[in-house]
Amino acid sequence: MSKKTVILISREYGSGGRALGEKLAAVLNIPFYDREIILASCKESGYNMSLFEKADKQSKHPITFFLSMYSSSVSPYDLSLNDQVFLIQSKVIREMAKESCVIIGRCADYILRDDPDILRIFVHAPIEDRIIRVKEEYHDEDSDTEEKIKRIDKNRATYYNYYSNEKWGRLSNYDLSFNTSKIAIDTCVKMISHYIQN
Amino acid sequence: MSKKTVILISREYGSGGRALGEKLAAVLNIPFYDREIILASCKESGYNMSLFEKADKQSKHPITFFLSMYSSSVSPYDLSLNDQVFLIQSKVIREMAKESCVIIGRCADYILRDDPDILRIFVHAPIEDRIIRVKEEYHDEDSDTEEKIKRIDKNRATYYNYYSNEKWGRLSNYDLSFNTSKIAIDTCVKMISHYIQN
């Protein structure tokens, strides 16, 4: 890869988006960031790991948050803890995106929206196939796998929609999308590699 | 190509979806159907060409139409002319899809939803780039190109949503999507060819 490309993957839970990102990063020989963002955010902030993990991804004070983005009159310490977590993660993501890499989720496509070198990808699949994948991959024996998938996707959408003021999974927000029930993950990786390397 | 693949392209007006389809059909050496569907429908029905061209793509009698799909008690002649046009086009599209081909628009992804050999693609681009493309490609000198694009897209959505009871441009309805402002049409063609030929 000669030119910098930051590949941002949003994905429905159980669609294989994370696996796709890992394989792509390996093929392109560039860093892969998922939980690494949380680790780096802890280091950056000094906050406890559990704070980042437990953040319920919905702030209680949207007005305060948006004021802080556009005005210097609001101190970061006036923000809810979740909003502070978002700002810290944003800083970490911007730092990571100075070089080619693959980043999973975390609103990165919105955070990096002014970077011309991003490629925004959405990975999805029908719910019935995602149930099978989740049961196999995570050895999920629960009978309520479908409910769990829907809850996780709802959390992702809420988080994304809240911070970006956009809509998670809206086609126009992505440069590429793949239905992994139709197109195998290894084929997706080859198709994306073709774009990056040509 | 050994295995049959019917490539169905839905597209925002001015995104280059038609050009993509033409190039793809040429590369794969398979038929390309766009206006050819109208011509074949005229031949099939004996109706005048202008009827197919002028159909305003919104039927007045949805209940009658849906009854006719699921009940033999409604004769096709009870239907509005637009609904008859849709049924004739559906028959023509099913005939075309017996062999590998590229089909543009016309609700074909819904009409062929039970065919396991379809690949559903959506092609889009930001409105500002589509305005430039439409002005260049169609030598459109009007000042209201943006309005025209929005009107055509609205017609496409209305037609699709009405007949499929689904939502045009909803990400989950497509196996692949491309933003042609980010990914050049020739690259899209290569990426899709890679999928088809491997």
Mean pLDDT by 10 residues, chain B (198 residues): 88 96 96 82 72 55 49 59 82 92 92 95 97 86 86 90 90 97 96 91
Tell me B180's DSSP state.
Answer: T
- A56-60, A72-76, B21-25, B127-131: least confidently modelled range: A56-60
Query: CA A198 to CA A10: how far, in whole Å?
Result: 23
Nearest by Cα to A174 from B117, B30, B182: B182
Alpha carbons B26 and B22: distance in angstroms, whole number = 6
Backbone angles phi, psi at B81, to 5 degrees: -60, -40
User: How confident is the model at residue A72, as a pLDDT?
Assistant: 52
Give the pairing of strands B176-179 and A176-179: antiparallel
Mean pLDDT of A60-64: 46
DSSP letter at A10 equals: E
Averaged over A25-42, what is the pLDDT?
85
Buried b / exposed e along A131-157 (16+ C-beta atoms within 10 A): bebbeeeeebeeeebeebbeeebeebb
Side-chain-side CA neighbours of A155 within 13 Å: the count stands at 12
Backbone dihedral region for residue A165 (phi beyond 0: left; psi -120 to 50: alpha; all else: beta): left
The closest of A92, A85, A110 to A163, measured between CA atoms, is A110
Average pLDDT, chain A: 84
Out of A122, A183, A191, the one facing B171 most closely (by C-beta) is A122
The identity of residue B80, as a single letter, is S
CA–CA distance from B119 to each of A31, A86, B191 (Å)?
32, 38, 13
Helix H or strand E encompassing B100: none
Contact B179 A182 (CB under 8 A): no
CA distances from B97 to A58, B19, B41, B117 (A): 47, 20, 14, 9
pLDDT for the residue B85: 79
User: What value, to the nearest 5°, has the Cα angle with vertex A147 and ends A127 and A185?
Assistant: 35
User: Alpha-carbon distance B175 to B121, whole Å?
Assistant: 6
CA A18 to CA A32: how far, in whole Å?
Answer: 10
Joined tokens for residue A24 = 């792509």
Mutation to test the A interface, candidates B118, B175, B185, B193, most A Cβ within 10 Å: B175
- Choosing among A10, A27, A191, A194, which should be mutated to test the B contact, i.e. which has the most B CBs within 10 A? A191
Cβ atoms A45, A77 nearer than 8 A: no
Q: Which residues of A make CB contacts under 8 Å with B?
A: 119, 122, 124, 126, 169-172, 174-179, 182-183, 187, 190-191, 194-195, 198
Identify the bridge partners of residue B179 per DSSP, sorted by sequence position. B124
**C-alpha distances in Å from residue B117, one per residue of A39, B105, B112, B124:** 44, 17, 9, 23
CA-CA distance, A114 to A32, in Å (whole number)?
A: 21
Q: Is the pTM of this model over 0.95?
A: no
Token pair belonging to A64: 């305060």
Could you read off the pLDDT of B34-73 as tens digits, one per residue?
887 777 776 777 777 676 666 644 444 444 455 455 555 5
Q: Do the beta carbons of residue A148 and residue A134 sit within 8 Å?
A: yes
Residue where the block lists tokens 């699949």: A125
**Check: complex ipTM more than 0.95:** no
* B chain contacts of residue A187, beta-carbon cutoff 8 Å: 194-195, 198
Chain A residue numbers touching B172 (CB-CB < 8 A): 124, 126, 169, 179
Helix axes A17-28, A185-197, angle to 10 degrees: 40
Instruction: Name the residue facing B175 among A171, A179, A195 (closest C-beta).
Output: A179
Of B92, B98, B94, B95, the closest CA to residue B4 belongs to B98
